[in-house]
Amino acid sequence: MERLLVLPTSRAGWGLLIAFVVLVLAGTWPVIGWVNRATLVMGLPLLVVWSYLVIFACVVVMLIGNRIVERDDHE
Amino acid sequence: MNSPWPLLITLTYVAIAMVIGLRARAGRSMNSLEEWGVAGRSMGPVTLYLLIAAGSVSAYTFMGAPGWAYSKGVAVFYVAIYLSYLALVAWYFGPKVWQFGEQFGHVTQASAISDRYQSPALGALAALVMAIGSIAYAVLQTIGSAYILFVMSGGLIPIWLGVVLVLACIAVYLYASGQRAIGRTNAFQGVLMLIVAWAVGLWAVHSATGGLSFVGVFERIQAEHSEFLTLPGAGGDMSFSFWTTSIIVSMFSFMPPVWTQWMSASSARTIRRSATWLPTYYVVILPMVVVGFIGIFSLPELARADTVVLEYAMQHLPVVLVGLLGAGTLAASMSSSEPFIHSVSLSLSKDVLQPVLKLSDGVTGKLARLLILPIMFFVVAPLAIAEPGSLVMILLVGLGFASQVLPAFIGMFFWPRASRLGVMAGIVAGFLITVAFTTLWPHPMGIHAGFWGLMLNLPVFVAVSLITPATHAEVVERFFRIAAPRGFTQRGRRAAV
Residue-wise pLDDT tens for chain B (497 aa)? 678 999 999 999 999 999 999 999 988 888 899 999 999 999 999 999 999 998 888 778 888 889 999 999 999 999 999 999 999 999 999 999 999 999 999 999 999 999 999 999 999 988 887 888 788 889 988 988 999 999 899 899 999 999 999 999 999 999 999 999 999 999 998 999 999 999 999 999 999 999 999 999 999 999 999 999 999 988 888 889 889 988 888 888 888 999 999 999 999 999 999 999 999 999 999 999 999 999 999 999 888 888 899 999 999 999 999 999 999 999 888 888 999 999 999 999 999 999 999 999 999 999 999 999 999 999 999 999 987 665 556 666 666 778 888 899 999 999 999 999 999 999 889 989 988 888 888 878 888 888 899 999 999 999 999 999 999 999 999 999 999 887 665 544 555 44
Backbone torsions φ then ψ of A41, nearest 5 degrees: -125, 120
Beta bridge partners of B146: none
CA dihedral B383, B386, B387, B390 (to 10 degrees): -80
B483 and A CB contact within 8 Å:
yes
Q: Which residues of A touch B276 (CB under 8 A)?
A: 59, 62-63, 65-66
Task: Please name the residue of chain B whose CA is at the shortest distance from the CA of residue A30.
Answer: B240
Mean pLDDT (whole number) for A55-68: 96
Q: Which chain B residue has the Cα nearest residue A33? A: B240
CB contact under 8 A, B286 and A48: yes
Number of C-beta neighbours around residue B424 at 10 A: 22
Point out the residue among B247, B251, B488 whose CB comes nearest to the CB of A5. Answer: B488
A47: closest CA of chain B, how far (Å): 7
Nearest-CA residue of chain B relative to A35?
B230
In chain B, residues with a C-beta closer than 8 Å to the C-beta of A24 are: 85, 88, 248, 251
pLDDT, one tens digit per residue, over A7-61 is 888 888 899 999 999 999 999 999 999 999 999 999 999 999 999 999 999 999 9
Q: Which chain B residues are closer than 8 Å to A74 by Cβ?
A: 485-486
pLDDT computed for residue B245 by the predictor? 86
Give the gyration radius of chain A's Cα atoms.
Answer: 17
Domains in chain B: ranges and CATH: 5-391 (1.20.1730.10), 405-497 (no CATH)
- In whole angstroms, give the CA distance from residue B487 to residue A8: 9
**Which residue in the set B241, B272, B490 is minimally distant from A3, CB to CB?**
B490
How much is the pLDDT for A75? 47
Check residue B298 and give its pLDDT: 93
- In angstroms, the separation between the Cα of residue B461 and the nearest Cα of chain A is 15
CB pairs under 8 A between A and B: 149
Backbone angles phi, psi at B493, to 5 degrees: -110, 160
Which pLDDT value is given to residue B490? 52
CA dihedral B378, B379, B383, B389 (to 10 degrees): 150
pLDDT value of position B248: 87
Asked if the interface predicted TM-score (ipTM) of this complex is over 0.85, the answer is yes
Of B218, B486, B489, the CB nearest to A44: B218
Helix (DSSP H) and strand (DSSP E) numbers for chain A:
3, 2
Which H or E run includes B46?
helix B45-56
Instruction: Identify which of B230, B275, B495 has the shortest CB distance to residue A36.
Output: B230
Residue A6 and residue B489: Cβ atoms within 8 Å? yes
Dihedral pair phi/psi, residue B153, rounded to 5°: -90, 5
Q: What is the pLDDT of residue B489?
A: 58
Is B493 an interface residue toward A (CB < 8 Å)? no
Nearest residue to B408 via CA among B354, B351, B366: B351
Residue A10 pLDDT: 85
Q: Which residue of B has its CA nearest to A62?
A: B276
Q: Which long-range contacts (CB under 8 A, 24 or more apart) does B307-316 make?
A: B307/B63, B307/B67, B308/B66, B308/B67, B308/B69, B308/B70, B309/B62, B309/B63, B309/B66, B309/B200, B309/B204, B310/B63, B310/B151, B312/B204, B313/B200, B313/B204, B314/B1, B314/B151, B316/B204, B316/B207, B316/B208
The partner residue sitting opposite B87, judged by closest CB among A10, A58, A69, is A58
Q: Which of B76, B230, B412 to mutate to test the interface with A (most CBs of A within 10 A)?
A: B230
Yes or no, beta carbons of A66 and B272 under 8 Å apart: yes
Residues of chain B in contact with residue A46, where contact means CB-CB under 8 angstroms, are: 229
The DSSP bridge partners found for residue A40 are: A45
pLDDT computed for residue B366 by the predictor? 94
Mutate to test the interface with A, among B229, B468, B475 (most CBs of A within 10 A): B229
DSSP per residue, B257-316: HHHHHHHTBS-HHHHHHHHHHGGGGGGGHHHHHHHHHHHHHHSTT-S-GGGHHHHHHHHH
Helices (H) then strands (E): counts for chain B = 24, 2
